[in-house]
C-alpha cells in the first residue's frame, strides 16, 4: 500500500469533478420524465454505440479479464466471439420490436402477452441482475484502489457511490450517454497505456512475452472437447451467446438506449458499432493479462509478495507467519489474479500516469453503474410503482419518483459491493450471478416472441419449472456428500443456457400438447393489443 502522489490525486479529483459538471450541465434539460429516460429521442447512433460499448467495458472487463487471463488463458475472449451472433439477432428482431412498441420499459409487453405476473417476474430478475452487476463493479474497483491508496474498501465504495449517484440523478440518461462517450475513450486509452508500460518494463519486450506465453499456453481459447462440466470453449461460447442475447434483447440498460435514438436505423448502427469496438478491445485485455503473466514470471519476488497478501486475506487476522507462508505456497495464479493489475500499478507505473489509469478504471465503473441506476429507476417507476400503486401521477411527481428510485438503486448497489468484499474472482462472481438471474427472463421473452400460440398458464408453468431448474443447478452444490449424485454436474456458466432452454422448451411442449388435445382451439387467441405488439 502507498499514498498516491499529489499529481495522481489531482488527476482523479479533476476527473470526478468533470463527471459531476456533466451531470449538472444536463440537469437543466431534465424537466420531464421523457427527457430523463429517453433524452427525447435525439441522441445520434454513434454516441449510443460508444455508450453501449462503454457499458460492456465495465471494470469487470478492465480488471477481471486480465486477472482471469493471468490465472488461465484467453477463454474470456470467447465470450466476445459470441457477440456478433447475438447482435445480428438483436438488430433484425429486437430493435424493430421495441421501437414499434413505443414502451420505455423492456418488460411492459410481457404483461400484454402473458399477464402481470410475467412483467413483474422479469422486472425482479432485471433488478437482481443490476444489483449483482453494480456490486461486483464496486468491489472490483475498491480492490484496486485499496492497494493503491491504503484506504478501506468500504470507504472507497461509499465515496465512489456518492459521486455516481449525484451525477446520475442530475443528468438522466442523456448525461449517462454523453459521459459514457468520454469514458469509453478514456478506458480504451488507459488499456493501451497499461500494455505499453508492461512492454517497456519487460526485459526482452514483446518477444519475451510471446515466448513465455507460448511455453505456458497462455494464448489458448480453452479446451475444444465436448465437455459441459468444465469451462471449455463451447461452454463459454454458449454462455456468451445467451448473455449477450439477454443484454441486447432484455436488458433495460440497452433497450432504453434504443429509444434515445432518432430512428430504428440509428439504433441498429449503435449495436454494430458496439460490437466493432468491444471485440478487439476485449482481446486487448486478454493480451494485457498474458503480458502481466510473463512480467511476473521474470519478477518472482513480486509474485511472492502478492501470494502472501492473498494468503493473509484468506486466513484469520491472528494467523501466524508460517500459516500464511504454507497457504501462499499452495496458491495457484488463478487464486490471486485479481491482485496483479493493482500490484503492477503500484510498482511500475510512474506518478501522474497512475492517476490517469485510475481515472480509466473509475470511468469503467461509473459508466456501467450509472447506466444500471438509471435503468433500474426506470423499470421500478414504470413497471412497479405506476403499475401497482399510483398509475395517474403527473410529470413532476414522475420525475421526483425517478430521482428517488435512482438514489435507492445506487445505495443498494453500494451495499452489494460491500457485501462482496472478500470474494475470490470478481469476474467469476459476476458471470455466475448474471447467469442465474438472466436465464429466466430470457427464456420467457423468447417463448413469447417465437411460440405465438403459447398461453398464460403454459408460460407460467414453464417459468416455474425453469426457476426450479435454475435453483437446483445453483444450490445443489450445497447438498451433503451422501447426496452428491443429485448435484448439478454442469459448469456454472451453463445455468443461463439450461434455464433459458427449459422455459422455452417446456412452454412449447405444453402448447403442442394442448393443441393436440383440443385442435379446434388452436386459433390465435391474442387480443388486438397483443397482435399490434407481436
Angle at 410 between CA 432 and CA 160, to 5 degrees: 95
End-to-end CA distance of the chain: 57
pLDDT at residue number 17: 82
3-class DSSP string for 227-241 = CCCCCCHHHHHHHHH
Please state, in angstroms and rounded to a whole number, the distance separating the CA atoms of residues 106 and 253: 9
Please state, in angstroms and rounded to a whole number, the distance separating the CA atoms of residues 208 and 203: 7
Please state, in angstroms and rounded to a whole number, the distance separating the CA atoms of residues 254 and 278: 15
Specify the residue for cell string 434539460. Answer: 29
As a whole number of Å, the CA-based R_g of the chain is 24
Please state, in angstroms and rounded to a whole number, the distance separating the CA atoms of residues 53 and 318: 45
Give the DSSP H or E segment for 370: helix 353-379
Please state, in angstroms and rounded to a whole number, the distance separating the CA atoms of residues 462 and 522: 19
For the four alpha carbons of 65, 238, 265 and 376, in that order, the dihedral sign comes to negative
Query: Could you tell me the CA-to-CA distances from 321 to 1, 110, 315, 316 in Å, in that order?
Result: 19, 58, 11, 12
The answer to whether 213 and 219 have CB atoms below 8 angstroms apart is yes
User: How buried is residue 482: exposed, middle or buried, by Cβ count under 10 Å (0-12/13-18/19+)?
Assistant: exposed
Q: Residue 281's Cα: distance from chain center in Å?
A: 16
pLDDT tens for 420-442 read 776 655 555 655 666 666 667 88
DSSP per-residue codes, 130-146: HHHHHHHHHHHHHHHHH
Could you list the beta-strand ranges (E) of 268-340. none
Could you list the beta-strand ranges (E) of 318-454. none
Phi, psi of 159 (to 5 degrees): -65, -45
pLDDT at residue number 432: 63
Query: Which three cell numbers, joined as nine digits, stand for 227?
Result: 465437455
User: Does pTM top 0.85 for this prediction?
Assistant: no
Longest dimension (CA), the chain: 78
The answer to whether 510 and 461 have CB atoms below 8 angstroms apart is yes
Tell me how crowded residue 185 is: count the other CB atoms within 10 A of its CB: 14
Please state, in angstroms and rounded to a whole number, the distance separating the CA atoms of residues 210 and 190: 22
Q: Residue 36's Cα: distance from chain center in Å?
A: 22
pLDDT at residue number 439: 63
For the chain, give the number of residues: 534
User: How buried is residue 225: exposed, middle or buried, by Cβ count under 10 Å (0-12/13-18/19+)?
Assistant: exposed
Query: Could you tell me the CA-to-CA distances from 504 to 96, 151, 171, 497 in Å, in that order?
Result: 22, 48, 39, 11
Specify the residue for cell string 432484455. Answer: 250
- DSSP bridge pairs for 261: 43
Please state, in angstroms and rounded to a whole number, the distance separating the CA atoms of residues 425 and 64: 7
Phi, psi of 103 (to 5 degrees): -85, 130
Pick from 179, 169, 165: which is nearest to 134 by CA? Answer: 165
Please state, in angstroms and rounded to a whole number, the distance separating the CA atoms of residues 242 and 363: 27
Q: Is 6-533 CATH 1.20.1730.10?
A: yes
> Block means of pLDDT (10 residues each) for the chain, length 534 residues?
68 80 71 68 85 80 82 88 92 87 80 88 85 82 76 86 83 77 83 90 91 90 88 91 87 83 88 93 92 90 81 76 82 78 79 77 76 86 86 82 89 87 60 65 86 88 90 83 85 87 92 81 47 44
Task: Report H helices in 251-394.
Answer: 252-260, 264-297, 300-314, 321-329, 333-336, 340-348, 353-379
Amino acid at each position: 500500500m502507498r499514498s498516491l502522489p499529489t499529481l495522481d490525486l489531482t488527476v482523479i479529483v479533476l476527473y470526478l469533478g468533470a463527471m459531476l459538471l456533466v451531470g449538472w450541465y444536463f440537469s437543466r434539460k431534465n424537466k420531464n420524465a421523457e427527457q430523463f429516460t429517453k433524452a427525447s429521442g435525439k441522441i445520434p447512433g454513434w454516441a449510443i454505440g460508444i455508450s453501449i460499448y462503454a457499458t460492456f467495458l465495465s471494470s469487470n472487463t478492465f480488471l477481471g479479464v486480465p486477472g482471469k487471463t493471468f490465472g488461465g488463458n484467453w477463454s474470456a475472449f470467447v465470450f466476445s466471439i459470441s457477440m456478433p451472433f447475438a447482435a445480428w439477432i438483436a438488430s433484425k428482431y429486437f430493435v424493430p420490436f421495441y421501437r414499434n412498441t413505443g414502451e420505455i420499459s423492456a418488460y411492459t409487453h410481457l404483461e400484454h402477452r402473458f399477464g402481470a405476473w410475467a412483467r413483474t417476474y422479469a422486472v425482479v430478475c432485471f433488478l437482481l441482475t443490476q444489483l449483482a452487476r453494480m456490486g461486483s463493479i464496486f468491489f472490483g474497483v475498491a480492490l484496486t484502489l485499496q492497494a493503491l491508496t491504503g484506504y478501506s474498501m468500504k470507504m472507497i465504495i461509499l465515496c465512489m457511490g456518492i459521486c455516481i449517484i449525484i451525477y446520475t440523478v442530475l443528468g438522466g440518461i442523456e448525461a449517462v450517454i454523453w459521459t459514457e462517450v468520454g469514458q469509453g475513450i478514456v478506458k480504451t486509452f488507459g488499456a493501451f497505456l497499461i500494455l505499453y508500460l508492461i512492454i517497456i518494463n519487460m526485459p526482452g519486450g514483446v518477444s519475451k512475452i510471446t515466448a513465455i506465453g507460448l511455453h505456458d499456453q497462455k494464448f489458448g481459447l480453452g479446451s475444444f472437447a465436448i465437455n459441459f462440466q468444465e469451462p471449455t470453449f463451447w461452454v463459454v461460447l454458449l454462455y456468451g451467446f445467451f448473455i449477450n442475447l439477454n443484454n441486447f434483447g432484455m436488458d433495460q440498460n440497452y433497450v432504453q438506449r434504443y429509444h434515445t435514438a432518432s430512428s430504428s436505423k440509428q439504433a441498429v448502427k449503435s449495436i454494430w458499432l458496439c460490437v466493432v469496438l468491444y471485440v478487439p478491445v476485449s482481446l486487448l485485455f486478454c493480451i494485457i493479462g498474458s503480458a502481466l503473466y510473463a512480467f511476473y514470471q521474470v519478477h518472482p519476488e513480486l509474485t511472492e509478495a502478492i501470494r502472501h497478501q492473498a494468503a493473509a486475506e484468506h486466513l484469520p487476522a491472528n494467523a501466524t507467519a508460517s500459516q500464511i507462508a504454507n497457504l501462499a505456497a499452495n496458491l495457484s495464479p488463478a487464486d490471486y489474479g485479481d491482485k496483479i493489475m493493482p500490484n503492477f500499478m503500484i510498482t511500475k507505473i510512474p506518478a501522474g500516469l497512475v492517476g490517469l489509469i485510475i481515472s480509466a478504471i473509475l470511468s469503467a465503473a461509473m459508466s456501467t453503474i450509472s447506466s444500471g441506476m438509471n435503468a433500474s429507476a426506470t423499470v421500478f417507476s414504470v413497471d412497479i410503482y405506476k403499475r401497482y400503486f399510483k398509475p395517474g401521477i403527473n410529470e413532476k411527481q414522475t420525475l421526483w419518483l425517478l430521482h428517488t428510485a435512482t438514489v435507492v438503486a445506487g445505495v443498494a448497489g453500494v451495499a452489494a459491493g460491500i457485501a462482496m468484499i472478500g470474494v475470490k474472482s470478481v469476474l467469476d462472481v459476476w458471470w455466475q450471478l448474471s447467469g442465474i438471474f438472466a436465464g429466466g427472463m430470457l427464456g420467457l421473452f423468447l417463448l413469447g416472441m417465437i411460440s405465438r400460440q403459447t398461453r398464460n398458464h403454459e408460460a407460467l408453468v414453464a417459468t416455474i419449472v425453469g426457476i426450479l431448474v435454475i435453483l437446483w443447478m445453483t444450490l445443489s452444490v450445497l447438498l451433503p456428500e451422501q447426496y452428491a449424485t443429485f448435484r448439478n454436474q454442469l459448469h456454472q456458466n451453463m445455468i443461463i443456457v439450461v434455464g433459458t432452454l427449459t422455459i422455452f422448451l417446456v412452454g412449447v411442449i405444453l402448447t403442442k400438447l394442448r393443441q393436440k388435445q383440443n385442435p379446434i382451439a388452436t386459433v390465435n387467441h391474442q387480443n388486438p393489443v397483443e397482435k399490434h405488439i407481436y
